[in-house]
A and B are shown apart, each in its own frame.
Chain A
Amino acid sequence: MAVISYIQAVTQALREEMKRDDKVFVLGEDVGKRGGVFRATDGLYDEFGEDRVLDTPLAESAIAGVGIGAAMYGMRPVAEMQFADFIMPAVNQIISEAAKTRYRSNNDWSVPMTIRAPYGGGVHGALYHSQSVEAVFANQPGLKIVMPSTPYDVKGLLKASIRDNDPVLFFEHKRAYRLIKGEVPEEDYTLPIGKADVKREGSDITVITYGLCVHFALQAAEKLAEEGIDAHILDLRTVYPLDQQGIIEAASKTGKVLLVTEDNKEGGIISEVSAIISENCLFDLDAPVQRLAGPDVPSMPYAPTMEKFFMMNPDKVEKAMRDLAEF
């Protein structure tokens, strides 16, 4: 099996889906000739032409809104927001339109569209090239939000998102793009949206997280294993709607739960995970549920000192895991 990077898995999934289905096309800023500022659509313009790899005007609401129109017609657009931070002008289209189209039309119309966006920090991106924006969208029934951690999950989940008949926000961690590599089958496969995945079996503590933080938790778990602490790690993969059963099973397994995100702490995805655990697992818990997250400041500052202060890393996760194990 070939070992490829996280971003190569994105490109591979796009290419395979565009080959498989003529209705699939890509639109966004710089996705065409340039192949994307991160090169996620590299080579697609040459292979599929400018009509299916469409460079749009610099206008995010139109990228989302035109995509919605094409999807309502029956196409399968994959829209790219150049950075998740820049999705905000498109929020009305995503929340008022895409999320509600099926519901408001009583199942007459639907929006089979995927919106991809690179999120996350640790790349000297400062306030507006580092944000995690999933919590903005995570109380909007009608949307699905996928945030994969590995190249294998990227390929299987991006294909599933493109084939899904409802709108999917697909957030890719930009630091993971070239940092994270992994085995990815060359053949076609999909993974189920809405299903969390156990990335490490363990019996002492449970870590529930998503995105790049999954790797921080895995690294920390290897170190802690040497100290005799055996961590169970659940990767949410889909952060909305959440895999409640998967969360309950993982939390109940060890009774000690650490929730990790690089997003701000208050009102985030992991807060909802915590609520699910408290509603369902009270008698299985041996410690208060712990949240490890970014601080509640607007976003990640540019200077390396402050960026490091904000950004999640394996050391912070390791310390929180050890503290919980010792509780």
Chain B
Amino acid sequence: MAENRHKSLGLSDEEVLDLFRTMLMARKIDERMWLLNRAGKIPFVISCQGQEAAQVGASYALDRTKDYALPYYRDMGVVLSFGMTPQDLMLSGFAKAEDPNSGGRQMPGHFGQKKNRIVTGSSPVTTQVPHAVGIALAGKMEKKDFVSLVTFGEGSSNQGDFHEGANFAGVHKLPVIFMVENNKYAISVPVSKQLACEKVSDRAIGYGMPGYTVDGNDPLAVYEAVKAAADRGRNGEGPTLIETVSYRLTPHSSDDDDRTYREREEVDEAKKKDSIVTFANYLREQNILTEEIETEMNEEINQIVNDATDYAENASYAEAESAMKYVYEENEE
């Protein structure tokens, strides 16, 4: 039997199975959204595929009862881990009134849900980075011990807001975890044309914080790195930069065609490292994911995704005139 890696991280068999289940849930919701898009039922999809291990591994390393998440548009694994439901996500996909992210105002992938401390985001990339720093600053002022996790792509690590936010957090030693989900592409532009340094984590030294690069297909490696970063943050030791390296398995979005800029062989090669496959293999080797459990899990998730799809498809859109609401605070009758 292969080495048990999760026990030494303090994770039980049940916990790693649950972690895998959340990864699989994200994958299956994502796959369903592509089907719905290609069937003409929803206008747009932007995918988490290939990044589930990093997203769920990082989230499970946090205290999801008090820490804050500032996800970017691919982070379905993060928001599911923080308490958003498959039904919530489908409501967002269909742009229905009950969508908790925005009530159907924003495109899918623009997450936000205050009750789960998932901070609302926009489309201009990297703007959430200074917000994560501000939330951590507020926590420090209020003498709380939560951390904020902010995620973004390697392309976003070139934006000024990354630099300004990271520097601010470094100067004020704030408990922020900056996690770059390096999926090798910013739409069509490969990482070689995005970065002059070898790794995004090389930039950490400029902000007075440690930087680590880990295998983004390995949820346990990501868990370990984020756990250590969260401990540092809670101990008042400041922020950490973590780069998780994986691969974007889908085109950028449902409106992109990645055949115009990358070879199929490259994608096929990356699929061999797909965490949904490799982590399942690990759990099978550990006799945690038995055939029986796997069948049951697949059936259960399929049922949940079907139910969520049906519910969202049949749900109501917001009233047209409700577009006038909530520009400013309103005193409701």
Interface of A with B (CB < 8 Å)? 25, 51-52, 56-57, 59, 61-62, 64-75, 77, 89, 92-93, 96-97, 100-110, 141-142, 144, 164-166
Contact = CB atoms under 8 A, between A and B. Distances in A.
A142 B328 CA distance: 6
Contacts of A74: 138
Contacts, number: 137
B130 A100 contact: no
A225 B329 CA distance: 43
A62 B164 contact: yes
A24 to B, nearest CB: 11
A72 B134 contact: yes
A97 B133 contact: no
A102 B120 CA distance: 9
B197 interface: no
Interface in B81-132: 99-103, 105-106, 110, 112-114, 119-120, 122-124, 127, 129-132
Interface stretch (B4-12, B40-48, B165-173, B180-188): B165-173
Given A103-B105, A106-B103, A70 B327 contact: no
Pick from A64, A72, A105, A142 the residue with the most CB of B within 10 Å: A105
Given A57-B171, A92-B124, A70 B164 contact: no
Nearest to A108: B114
Nearest to A25: B141
| Best-buried of B102, B110, B130, B137 by chain A (most CB within 10 Å) | B130
A291 to B, nearest CB: 28
A272 B106 CA distance: 29
A70 B119 CA distance: 12
A71 to B, nearest CB: 7
Nearest to B332: A107
B164 A61 contact: yes
B327 A142 contact: yes
B33 to A, nearest CB: 20
B220 to A, nearest CB: 30
B261 interface: no
Contact of B164 (A65, A141, A142): A65
A62 B168 contact: yes
B134 A93 contact: no
16 contacts: A52-B141, A59-B164, A61-B164, A64-B130, A65-B161, A69-B131, A70-B141, A71-B134, A93-B161, A96-B122, A102-B327, A105-B112, A105-B120, A106-B103, A108-B120, A144-B328
By Cβ-Cβ distance, the 9 closest A-B pairs, closest first, are A69-B134, A65-B130, A106-B103, A69-B131, A62-B164, A73-B138, A66-B134, A70-B134, A105-B120
A103 B327 contact: yes
B145 to A, nearest CB: 14
Nearest to A65: B130
Nearest to B130: A65
A70 B105 contact: no
B245 to A, nearest CB: 27
Question: What class of interface size applies to chain B in its complex with A?
Answer: 35 or more
A88 to B, nearest CB: 12
Contacts of A107: 325-326, 330
A65 B119 CA distance: 13
B160 interface: yes
Contact of A70 (B100, B106, B112, B135): B135
B248 to A, nearest CB: 24
Contacts of A70: 134-135, 137-138, 141
Contacts of A65: 127, 129-131, 133-134, 161, 164-165
B164 A57 contact: yes
B139 interface: yes
Contact of B138 (A64, A75, A93, A105): A75
A127 to B, nearest CB: 23
A109 B329 contact: no
Contact of A104 (B105, B130, B325): B105
Contacts of B165: 62, 65-66
A142 B329 CA distance: 9
B42 to A, nearest CB: 19
The interface centre, meaning the residue of A77, A101, A142 with most chain B CB atoms within 10 A of its CB, is: A101
Nearest to B114: A108
Interface in B47-104: 68, 99-103
B138 A100 contact: no
A268 to B, nearest CB: 22
A59 to B, nearest CB: 4
A92 B127 contact: yes
A104 B138 CA distance: 23
B167 A59 contact: yes
Given A73-B139, A75-B138, A92-B124, A97 B110 contact: no
B119 A72 contact: yes
A101 B130 CA distance: 14
Given A89-B160, A166-B328, A105 B133 contact: no
Contact of A66 (B119, B130, B163): B130
Contacts of B139: 73
